[in-house]
């Protein structure tokens, strides 16, 4: 009678993990440098604007293209590999290089004519102001008492 080992599937799982790492880091150096990537972003809203911050370390400002068309914001760019190091001298390449594109549908409340972009320390910050008519307005309520308890 054969007992079923609780470790039966472990070798298969280990093989799959090893294969994943070999594909990602141990394969052709050119493959890892040409992988598609997309920068991570944070989006938050203030009373007056929508703010998008994108992590773009190593991306030169001249390689960035930010556009707003038909209420769609698109950030495109490219992170280029360092040309001062010969490709065959790399032992490991884990950072992703190449072109990227991120698009965001904008609400109608955004004033697309007044978008502001700042790029500091590898972080692109886009400030998309809200249209004046979409900003919250405070209305003062006058309370009158006429002695009737109402």
Dihedral sign, CA of 12, 16, 21, 26?
Answer: positive
- Give the closest residue to 69 by CA, choosing from 117, 135, 113: 113
Longest Cα–Cα distance in the chain? 95
pLDDT at 30 over 60: no
Of residues 20 and 120, more confidence is placed in 120
Per residue in 55-89, pLDDT (tens digit) is: 999 999 999 999 999 999 999 999 998 888 888 88
pLDDT at 94 over 60: yes
Domains parsed from the chain with CATH numbers: 38-132 (2.60.40.790)
């Amino acid at each position: 009678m054969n007992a079923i080992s609780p470790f039966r599937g472990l070798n298969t799982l280990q093989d799959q993990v090893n294969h994943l790492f070999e594909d990602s880091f141990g394969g052709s150096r050119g493959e890892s440098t040409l992988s598609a990537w997309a920068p991570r972003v944070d989006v938050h809203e203030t009373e007056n604007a929508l703010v998008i911050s994108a992590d773009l370390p190593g991306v030169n400002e001249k390689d960035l293209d930010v556009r707003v068309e038909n209420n769609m914001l698109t950030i495109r760019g490219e992170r280029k590999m360092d040309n001062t190091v010969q490709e065959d001298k790399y032992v490991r390449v884990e950072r992703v290089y190449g072109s990227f594109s991120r698009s965001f549908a904008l609400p109608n409340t955004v004033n697309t004519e007044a978008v502001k972009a700042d790029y500091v320390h590898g972080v692109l910050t886009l400030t998309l102001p809200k249209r004046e008519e979409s900003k919250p307005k405070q209305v003062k309520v006058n309370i009158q008492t006429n002695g009737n308890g109402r």
